[in-house]
């Protein structure tokens, strides 16, 4: 049968070289090739089928995910895949499972916090997956409040052991992925008690981590350990493939050398020592690394939702208001649809580029830390925390919007969007609750503002050096075209962020107790942090455009996306820009008018821009987002693929419907 491309006309409208844009999106020709290879390896392997996943009950679902993880491991071994290739293989399998935590948290924790000897012992075992580990920090009563962690590790000098104990119900380790059923080992965070003295109660990095066995040979828990799964989570399929666990200790003894001892140690005699040559700040480096990975991945998640909604919008026809009989309008041609969809398309690209920059930042910070230079650490920490928060929140909201953009069919599991939403929501919570992270960013920004004059702001906060100019010079825009200039846009975001930060800093100064002030103004402080982070995203997009970008029309298409992203934010947050006095109402309205012009320039490129994400149909797993656009026959078929349609007579029909029809309910 001849394959028909229902989106061919849309693809023909593209004004840029899609293959060149694929390279820009992937980061390099090598990355494109790598991702393409791994995506197709997964798409063509029967073990990684995923359409039935939302129909499975938890136990079947979990077994299915274990099967996939085993096949993935087998492929890694059989094909001799590198760690980088294996990472992309797992990504395209598209199912949260224990290896995510094993590779993403357990191994980095040992690498970052284990002594050389411990690394030599545990890393080969971990990398061969002869042991499987998880990362157990959160407790039932203490998530964001890491200072409150209650699990204790008491040193027993006589036996050269630590005794790990959960003194209260609220000290139960709660949520760690991979812990519930699979992990043989855990890195557990606990308060260290040596000679009756607590060590480290002043911050999360003062907690101590221990890596040890949880199970006996037959996979029954070691004596004193209670372990299990926290229970069913939101959504069908979604994050339920992961065994997020609970863990309690009843005076569990582990050898002293199970404490991760790179940063501090306890000697055989029970002497606690900080290792002077290894800075504790190194642990921040791990956080920066994990969060920058989240930002890198989340742009792909948003791109996936946007790809589905854009393709469906470019296929589905509606009636025009003048003719209610002849369907003529494509959904994508409604201005209102464009004003909801195109900013999300632009956001996916914006987040991709800021993710690339974060990757660079992490490498830079790592090199500096190794050379004992901590000068950029606070700024790097604030940037990664803030961008993790900003991008994951926007992505989750964006997926929900994409669902609505597809109308009723977006709500069907077969659209791929409900499960994508359900699996993505927790990214707003894990690795730091997004609001709590924004408050940390706000602290950093306010501190930077208050130190102006005697401490030089660095990197992404260097705009604060020009505080005077930013506070007093208002926007110079006179025409709509004035809005599509990179330096003007960046200056607008700088002025807004600087003015909001200064106002908040002044309000905080009125409080005698700074912490009380911080608490009372926390809602405003979050907005300061959002303004600071949006400035980072906008300025990194503008910086990207200053680079040499090959390919016919590619740079021009990206310019449109950049200004759509920025002007959409100006429009959405125009209250900030107006209240701070930087913009006049006329300038705000010019921005909005220019945004509409940009939407019309983006329109012909819309399908090509989502094709440039290079997503396979397997990865999208969406009937309405298929590459060929052949939606309706497949949507119809998907309904009949649901086992619920196996029979016309559902279970319970005779028992509960007949009595109503036959008027025999009295016998029920
Ligand atoms: C799917 C999933 C996987 C996870 N995986 C792991 C894992 O592998 N290992 C692990 O150790 N943990 C894991 N976690 C736990 C996760 O790290 C915590 O859920 C997270 O730190 C938030 O803590 P919490 O749930 O206690 O929420 P809370 O901290 O209780 O937050 C609840 C609400 O209070 C607000 N809030 C909290 N503190 C403040 C404050 N100071 N100021 C203002 N508002 C505040 C928050 O914004 C939020 O709205 C996972 C969680 C999920 C959902």
- pLDDT mean over 529-541: 98
Cβ of residue 136 lying under 6 Å from some atom of ligand 1: yes
Residues 608, 553: Cα–Cα separation, whole Å: 12
| Annotated binding residue 138 | yes
Residues 569, 343: Cα–Cα separation, whole Å: 9
Question: What contacts 27, CB < 8 A, 6 or more positions away?
Answer: 356
Using the predicted structure, report yes or no on whether residue 285 has a pLDDT greater than 80. Answer: no
Cβ of residue 389 lying under 6 Å from some atom of ligand 1: no
The pair of three-digit structure tokens given for residue 291, joined into one six-digit string: 């969060």
Question: Using one digit for the tens of pLDDT, what is the confidence trace for 446-473?
Answer: 999 999 998 999 899 999 999 999 999 9
Q: How far is CA 551 from CA 18, 24, 347, 420, 556, in A?
A: 8, 9, 21, 32, 10
Tell me if residue 143 falls in helix, strand or coil: coil
pLDDT class of 215 with cuts at 50, 70, 90: low
Cβ of residue 439 lying under 6 Å from some atom of ligand 1: yes
The pLDDT of residue 216 is: 64
Decide: pTM greater than 0.90.
yes
- Which of 393, 426, 431, 436 has most ligand 1 atoms within 8 Å of its beta carbon, as the pocket-test mutant? 436
Q: Which atom of ligand 1 is nearest to the CA of 138?
A: 11
Using the predicted structure, report yes or no on whether residue 661 has a pLDDT greater than 70. Answer: yes
Cβ of residue 349 lying under 6 Å from some atom of ligand 1: no
Residues 316, 10: Cα–Cα separation, whole Å: 13
Span from the CA of 530 to the centroid of ligand 1 (angstroms): 19
Q: With contact defined as beta carbons under 8 Å apart, do 259 and 185 qualify?
A: no
The pLDDT of residue 15 is: 98
The pLDDT of residue 421 is: 98
Q: Is 435 exposed, middle or buried (0-12, 13-18, 19+ CB in 10 A)?
A: middle
- Residue with CA nearest ligand 1 atom 10: 176
- Residue with CA nearest ligand 1 atom 39: 436
Q: With contact defined as beta carbons under 8 Å apart, do 445 and 382 qualify?
A: yes
- Residue with CA nearest ligand 1 atom 9: 176
Span from the CA of 248 to the centroid of ligand 1 (angstroms): 19
pLDDT class of 514 with cuts at 50, 70, 90: very high
- Residue with CA nearest ligand 1 atom 52: 430
| 431 catalytic per annotation | yes
Using the predicted structure, report yes or no on whether residue 602 has a pLDDT greater than 80. Answer: yes
Q: Which atom of ligand 1 is nearest to the CA of 434?
A: 47
The pLDDT of residue 425 is: 98
- pLDDT mean over 465-490: 97
Q: Where are the alpha helices (DSSP H) in 114-167?
A: 116-127
CA-nearest of 302, 334, 317, 332 to 417 is: 302
Residues 635, 641: Cα–Cα separation, whole Å: 10
CA-nearest of 466, 56, 490 to 232 is: 56
Q: With contact defined as beta carbons under 8 Å apart, do 248 and 183 qualify?
A: no
- pLDDT mean over 83-89: 97
Using the predicted structure, report yes or no on whether residue 211 has a pLDDT greater than 70. Answer: no
Give 189 or 577, the one with higher predicted confidence: 577
pLDDT class of 600 with cuts at 50, 70, 90: very high
- Which of 105, 132, 143, 172 has most ligand 1 atoms within 8 Å of its beta carbon, as the pocket-test mutant? 143
- pLDDT mean over 134-155: 92
Cβ of residue 483 lying under 6 Å from some atom of ligand 1: no
Using the predicted structure, report yes or no on whether residue 202 has a pLDDT greater than 60. Answer: no
pLDDT class of 218 with cuts at 50, 70, 90: confident
- Which of 204, 210, 429, 434 has most ligand 1 atoms within 8 Å of its beta carbon, as the pocket-test mutant? 429
- Residue with CA nearest ligand 1 atom 36: 436
Span from the CA of 177 to the centroid of ligand 1 (angstroms): 13
Q: How far is CA 179 from CA 68, 314, 444, in A?
A: 18, 44, 34
Q: With contact defined as beta carbons under 8 Å apart, do 422 and 626 qualify?
A: no
Cβ of residue 143 lying under 6 Å from some atom of ligand 1: yes
Q: Which of 66-75, 150-159, 261-270 has the lowest mean pLDDT?
A: 261-270
The pLDDT of residue 563 is: 98
Cβ of residue 541 lying under 6 Å from some atom of ligand 1: no
Q: Which atom of ligand 1 is nearest to the CA of 189?
A: 11
Provide the Cα torsion 211, 217, 221, 222; round to 10°. -70
- Residue with CA nearest ligand 1 atom 45: 436
The pLDDT of residue 366 is: 85
Share of the chain above pLDDT 90, in %: 83
Span from the CA of 135 to the centroid of ligand 1 (angstroms): 14
Span from the CA of 436 to the centroid of ligand 1 (angstroms): 9
pLDDT class of 197 with cuts at 50, 70, 90: confident
pLDDT class of 219 with cuts at 50, 70, 90: confident
Span from the CA of 147 to the centroid of ligand 1 (angstroms): 13
- Which of 132, 150, 175, 233 has most ligand 1 atoms within 8 Å of its beta carbon, as the pocket-test mutant? 175
- Residue with CA nearest ligand 1 atom 6: 176
Span from the CA of 145 to the centroid of ligand 1 (angstroms): 8
The pair of three-digit structure tokens given for residue 653, joined into one six-digit string: 């029909």
The pLDDT of residue 204 is: 35
Cβ of residue 244 lying under 6 Å from some atom of ligand 1: yes
| Annotated binding residue 575 | no
Cβ of residue 521 lying under 6 Å from some atom of ligand 1: no
Cβ of residue 96 lying under 6 Å from some atom of ligand 1: no
The pLDDT of residue 374 is: 84
- pLDDT mean over 621-639: 97
Tell me if residue 264 falls in helix, strand or coil: strand
- Residue with CA nearest ligand 1 atom 37: 144
Give 328 or 41, the one with higher predicted confidence: 41
Give 367 or 592, the one with higher predicted confidence: 592
- pLDDT mean over 239-247: 97
- pLDDT mean over 637-649: 94
Span from the CA of 242 to the centroid of ligand 1 (angstroms): 17
Residues 557, 288: Cα–Cα separation, whole Å: 31
- pLDDT mean over 123-129: 95
Q: Which of 10, 400, 419, 431 is catalytic?
A: 431
- Residue with CA nearest ligand 1 atom 5: 176
Q: Which atom of ligand 1 is nearest to the CA of 433?
A: 22
């Amino acid at each position: 049968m001849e394959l028909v491309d229902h989106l061919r006309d849309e693809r023909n409208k593209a004004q840029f070289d899609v293959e060149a844009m694929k390279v820009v999106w992937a980061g390099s020709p090598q990355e494109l090739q790598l991702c393409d290879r791994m995506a197709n390896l997964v798409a063509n392997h029967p073990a990684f089928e995923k359409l039935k996943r939302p129909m499975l009950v938890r136990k079947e679902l979990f077994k299915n995910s274990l099967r996939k993880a085993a096949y993935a491991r087998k492929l890694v071994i059989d094909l001799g895949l590198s760690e980088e290739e294996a990472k992309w293989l797992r990504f395209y399998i598209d199912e949260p499972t224990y290896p995510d935590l094993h590779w993403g948290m357990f191994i980095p924790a040992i690498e970052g916090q284990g002594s050389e000897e411990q690394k030599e012992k545990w890393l080969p075992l971990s990398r061969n997956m002869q042991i499987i580990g998880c990362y157990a920090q959160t407790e039932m009563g203490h998530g964001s409040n890491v200072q409150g962690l209650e699990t204790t590790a008491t040193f027993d000098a006589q036996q050269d052991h630590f005794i790990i104990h959960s003194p209260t119900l609220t000290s139960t380790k709660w949520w760690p992925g991979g812990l519930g059923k699979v992990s043989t080992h855990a890195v557990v965070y606990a308060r260290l008690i040596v000679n009756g003295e607590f060590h480290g109660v002043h911050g999360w990095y003062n907690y101590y981590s221990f890596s040890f066995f949880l199970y006996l040979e037959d996979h029954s828990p070691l004596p004193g350990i209670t372990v299990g799964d926290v229970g069913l989570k939101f959504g069908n399929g979604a994050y339920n493939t992961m065994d997020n666990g609970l863990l309690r200790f009843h005076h569990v003894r582990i050898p002293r050398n199970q404490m991760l001892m790179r940063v501090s140690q306890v000697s055989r005699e029970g002497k606690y020592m900080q290792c002077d040559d290894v800075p504790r700040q190194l642990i921040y480096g791990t956080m920066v690394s994990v969060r920058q990975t989240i930002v890198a991945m989340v742009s792909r998640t948003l791109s996936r939702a946007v790809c589905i909604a854009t393709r469906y919008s470019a296929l589905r026809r509606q009636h025009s208001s003048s003719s209610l009989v002849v369907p003529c309008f494509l959904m994508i041609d409604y201005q209102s649809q464009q004003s909801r969809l195109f900013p999300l398309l632009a956001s996916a690209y914006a987040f991709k580029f800021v993710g690339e920059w974060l990757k660079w930042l992490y490498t830079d910070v790592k090199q500096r830390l190794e050379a004992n230079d901590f000068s950029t650490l606070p700024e790097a920490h604030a940037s990664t925390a803030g961008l993790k928060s900003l991008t994951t929140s926007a992505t989750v909201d964006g997926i929900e919007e994409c669902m609505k953009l597809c109308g009723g069919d977006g709500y069907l599991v077969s659209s791929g969007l409900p499960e994508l939403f359900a699996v993505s929501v927790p990214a707003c919570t894990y690795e730091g609750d997004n609001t709590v992270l924004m408050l940390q960013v706000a602290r950093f920004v306010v501190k930077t503002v208050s130190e102006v004059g005697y401490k030089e702001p660095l990197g992404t906060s260097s705009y604060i050096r020009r505080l005077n100019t930013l506070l007093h010079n208002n926007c110079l825009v006179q025409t709509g075209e004035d809005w599509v200039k990179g330096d003007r846009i960046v200056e607008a975001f700088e002025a807004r962020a600087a003015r909001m930060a200064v106002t908040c800093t002044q309000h905080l100064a009125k409080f005698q107790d700074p912490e009380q002030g911080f608490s009372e103004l926390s809602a405003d402080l979050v907005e300061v942090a959002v303004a600071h982070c949006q400035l980072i995203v906008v300025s990194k997009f503008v910086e990207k455009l200053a680079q040499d970008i090959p390919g016919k029309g590619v740079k021009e298409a990206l310019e449109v996306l950049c200004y759509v992203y920025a002007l959409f934010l100006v429009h959405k947050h125009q209250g900030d820009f107006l209240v701070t006095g930087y913009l006049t109402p006329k300038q705000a309205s010019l921005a909005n008018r220019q945004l509409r012009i940009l939407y019309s320039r983006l329109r012909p490129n819309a399908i090509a821009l989502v094709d440039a994400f290079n997503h396979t149909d397997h990865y999208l797993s969406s009937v309405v987002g298929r590459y060929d656009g052949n939606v309706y026959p497949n949507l119809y078929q998907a309904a009949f693929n649901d086992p619920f349609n196996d029979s016309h007579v559902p279970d319970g029909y005779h028992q509960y419907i007949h009595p109503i029809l036959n008027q025999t309910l009295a016998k029920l």
